[in-house]
A and B are shown apart, each in its own frame.
Chain A
Amino acid sequence: MSGHIRPDFAIILDAVPTKARVLDVGCGSGELMALLRERRGAMVRGMEVSQAGVNDCVAQGLAVVQGDADQDLSLYPDRSFDVVILSQTIQAMRRPKVVLDQMRRIGGTCVVSLPNFGHWRVRLDLLAHGRMPVTRELPSSWHETDNLHLCTLLDFQTLALETGWMIEALHPISGGRRGGVQSQAGLVSNLLAETGVFVLKRG
Chain B
Amino acid sequence: MLERVEIAFETWGSLNADRSNAILICHALTGDQFVASANPVTGRPAWWPQLVGPGRVIDTDRFFVICSNVLGGCMGTTGPASSGPDGTPWGLDFPVITIADMVRAQAALIDALGIGTLFAVVGGSMGGMQVLEWVARYPDRVICALPIATAARHSAQNIAFHEVGRQAVMADPDWCGGAYLKAGTRPAKGLAVARMAAHITYLSDSALQRKFGRTLQDREALTFGFDADFQIESYLRHQGSTFVDRFDANSYLYITRAMDYFDLAAAHGGTLVGAFAGFKGRACVASFSSDWHYPPTESRIITRAMIAAGIEVSGFEITTDKGHDAFLLDEPDFARALEGFLGASARQRGLA
Contact = CB atoms under 8 A, between A and B. Distances in A.
B314 A58 contact: yes
A82 to B, nearest CB: 14
Interface stretch (A59-67, A117-125, A129-137): A59-67
Contact of A51 (B304, B319, B345): B319
Interface of B: 282, 284, 300, 303-304, 307-308, 310, 312-319, 333, 336-337, 339-341, 343-345, 347
Contacts of B317: 51, 54, 66
Interface in A54-93: 54-55, 57-66, 72, 75-77, 80
A58 B303 contact: no
Determine which residue in A51, A57, A62, A80 has the highest number of CB atoms from chain B within 10 A of its CB, and name it. Answer: A51
Contacts of A66: 300, 303, 315-317
A61 B343 contact: yes
Given A65-B316, A72-B304, 19 more contacts: A43-B312, A51-B316, A51-B319, A54-B314, A54-B317, A55-B333, A58-B337, A58-B340, A58-B341, A60-B344, A61-B347, A62-B344, A63-B314, A64-B316, A65-B313, A65-B315, A76-B307, A77-B308, A77-B310
Contacts, number: 65
Contacts of A104: none
Interface residues of A, number: 20
A72 B307 CA distance: 10
A75 B308 contact: yes
Contacts of A45: 312
Nearest to B315: A65
Contacts of A58: 284, 314, 316, 337, 340-341
**Main secondary structure on A side of the interface with B:** mixed
A195 B333 CA distance: 35
A66 B307 CA distance: 11
A63 B282 contact: yes
A61 B339 CA distance: 8
B308 A76 contact: yes
Top 5 nearest A-B pairs (CB, nearest first) are A61-B344, A59-B340, A65-B315, A58-B337, A75-B307
A54 B319 CA distance: 12
A106 to B, nearest CB: 11
A19 B315 CA distance: 23
A65 B303 contact: yes
21 contacts: A51-B316, A51-B319, A55-B318, A55-B333, A57-B314, A58-B340, A61-B341, A61-B343, A61-B347, A62-B340, A62-B344, A64-B315, A65-B307, A65-B313, A65-B314, A65-B315, A66-B300, A66-B315, A66-B317, A75-B308, A80-B310
A193 B300 CA distance: 40
Interface in A127-185: none
Interface string A100-120: 000000000000000000000
A66 B318 CA distance: 11
Nearest to A60: B340
B331 to A, nearest CB: 11
Nearest to B306: A65
A75 B337 contact: no
B337 A59 contact: yes
Contacts of B282: 63
Given A72-B304, A77-B308, A61 B345 contact: yes
Contacts of B313: 63, 65
Contacts of B314: 54, 57-58, 62-65
Determine which residue in A43, A61, A66, A76 has the highest number of CB atoms from chain B within 10 A of its CB, and name it. Answer: A61
A77 B300 CA distance: 17
Contacts of A80: 310
B224 to A, nearest CB: 47
Nearest to B339: A59
B89 to A, nearest CB: 46
B180 to A, nearest CB: 47
A64 B303 CA distance: 10
Contact of A55 (B303, B337, B343): B337
Nearest to B307: A75
Given A55-B333, A66-B317, A61 B303 contact: no
Determine which residue in B307, B318, B319 has the highest number of CB atoms from chain A within 10 A of its CB, and name it. Answer: B307
